[in-house]
Amino acid sequence: MGSNPDLATCQLGDFGPGPGAVTPTLSETTEAQLSEFELLSSMFPGEAELVVGDPVALAELREFVEKRSPEPPAAALRYTLNVPVEVADGPGVVLAVECILPLRYPAVLPEITVRSPALGRTRQGELNGALSSHLRAGGRGEVCVLRAAEWVREHGAGYAGAEPPAPRPPGPPAPASPAAVFTRLWIYSHHIYSKRKRRDVVDWARELALSGFSVPGRPGLVCAEGPRDACEEFWARLRRLSWKRILIRHREDSPVAADAPESGRRFSSFEEKVFAGGAAGGNHVDLGQLYQFLKTRGCAHVFRLLFGVEGQ
């Protein structure tokens, strides 16, 4: 599932206190996140109204806030609010407000994107841009997901409906040259400890002529790239193993010329990379080392997609 650069998203970066203000601690920001989530749960009680994207991250957040674990969540809290919106002269629609909350939220603004089949591509971008401006104008350092949902409920109807007609091209497009699909999967796991799983990941990737890398520890990470069919076979094999939590967190599909199928590769082979010695110690992955590795391979942009925070 690749990202769409044409959709405006409320990904706003630092929104912390001004000069001279005290920076909130991690305990304070995570407690604020959990309190807001519990409030939203009471306001959106239906099973389809509030959908948690990563239950493990929510459980880890709760354990950390309640001091049952000294370790902060390994990944950002993700959830979707399905907000019903009334539309004049037509049936109502449901707009999905997708939220990714960095650990420092609300000291920084979250990443919020509104999506719906009722929104055309252009109007969806316009809605997200307007929501971004609204959140930027709000109070600094305050939780804002509920405010975003209320804004969408109030203003979303103005963006639903028919898309303005696109201008006609001057003539028929030139025939496209034959192309194949090159895929890169970014697979996130709660952890990868088992020696057998570690061996299977490497052996299967090499058997399928995929390149990339795997990172054992907590959290576990696998990047596999190559022809689409080979990547899908690799993912099917991984899913058959027993995992506490594993999912494709980001997917990149791109066309490549049929006579140059290797042109999309960023890695020359598949290997296991160990980044030990993180702040939490033990088997935890040092995310700083991982970010620097991704940066050298031109993949720094995926760090936020994987972990919900900016790399450093």
pLDDT score at 166:
54
pLDDT score at 66:
94
Q: Name residue 272's beta-bridge partners.
A: 214
Query: Does residue 255 or residue 127 have the better pLDDT?
Result: 127
Q: How many beta carbons lie within 10 A of that of residue 300, not counting itself?
A: 15
Place 13 in a pLDDT band, splitting at 50, 70 and 90.
Answer: very low
Q: Which of 50-54, 91-95, 172-176, 234-238 bottoms out in mean pLDDT, i.e. has the lowest?
A: 172-176
Mean pLDDT confidence for 271-283: 76
What whole-number distance in Å separates Cα of residue 300 and Cα of residue 269? 19
| H helix or E strand, kind and range, residue 308 | none
pLDDT score at 108:
87
Query: Does residue 138 or residue 26 have the better pLDDT?
Result: 26
Q: Residues, the chain, total?
A: 312
- According to DSSP, residue 192 is labeled B
pLDDT score at 139:
65
pLDDT score at 276:
82
pLDDT score at 311:
73
Q: What is the pLDDT of residues 64-121, one digit of tens each?
A: 999 998 988 888 899 999 999 887 766 778 999 999 998 899 988 889 999 988 888 8
pLDDT score at 62:
93
Place 12 in a pLDDT band, splitting at 50, 70 and 90.
Answer: very low
pLDDT score at 172:
60
Mean pLDDT confidence for 116-144: 86
pTM of the predicted structure, to 2 decimals: 0.51
pLDDT score at 261:
65
Q: What is the pLDDT of residues 186-237, one digit of tens each?
A: 999 999 999 999 999 999 999 999 999 999 999 999 999 999 899 999 999 9
Q: Name residue 125's beta-bridge partners.
A: none
CA distance between the termini of the chain: 25
